[in-house]
Amino acid sequence: MSEMISAMRIFTKFGLDRLRWDLREVALELLDWKQCEEANSVRWLLAHISMVLNVYIPRAVTGDLGYVPEGWPDDYTDDGSHSLERLVADIKEGEVRALESLESLSPESLEDTLDWYIGEERREVYLMILASEILHHEGQVAAAIGLKRRMDGLSPKVEPPL
């Protein structure tokens, strides 16, 4: 496995490890809370992370930009009806799917060009964007938890599991 593929796996795994810390602090009333009307809810962020893992990373790995897992709902990110348990289960399933698919890549395949949502770019660029999406959105979940806790008069600190 190349250093770049290994780095993508490390970033993806680290973002998901941090998300697991956050999920210990996500109460049901926080799932649909927003910092402002225009912000994404925690439920939306979790659904988006699930989409990155289950749909977008496999698309980038395979080059099949229309890939959707069998039985995947068309409106997954926007419908807001998925329970926390469902989202966590989908993220766990997506973690396995994403990490295994990254492992299947050859270093040469990172140079392949994909014509996707930012135009023609190397597969490596798309995969690094997707790995960073997990870290970015985990940070938004952590920020929502911290802000809500501050507003409720509680410490915003989230302790990593021992």
pLDDT of 162 reads: 64
Burial of 30 (0-12, 13-18, 19+ CB in 10 A): middle
Q: Can you give the residue ranges of every domain in the chain?
A: 3-151
pLDDT tens per residue, range 23-47: 888 888 889 988 888 989 999 999 9
Q: Tell me the two tokens of residue 5.
A: 């593929």
* Contact criterion met (CB below 8 Å) for 96 and 82: no
Alpha carbon 152 to its chain's center? 27
Percent helix, strand and coil across the chain, each rounded to 5? 60, 5, 35
CATH H-level, domain 3-151: superfamily: dinb family like domain (1.20.120.450)
State the pLDDT confidence band at 78, using cuts at 50, 70 and 90.
low
Distance between CA atoms of 21 and 47, rounded to whole angstroms? 17
* pTM exceeds 0.85 for this model: yes
Of the chain, the percentage scoring pLDDT greater than 90 comes to 67
What lies within 8 Å, CB to CB, of 135 at 6+ separation is 11, 14, 15, 18
Decide which of 147 and 91 is more confident. Answer: 91
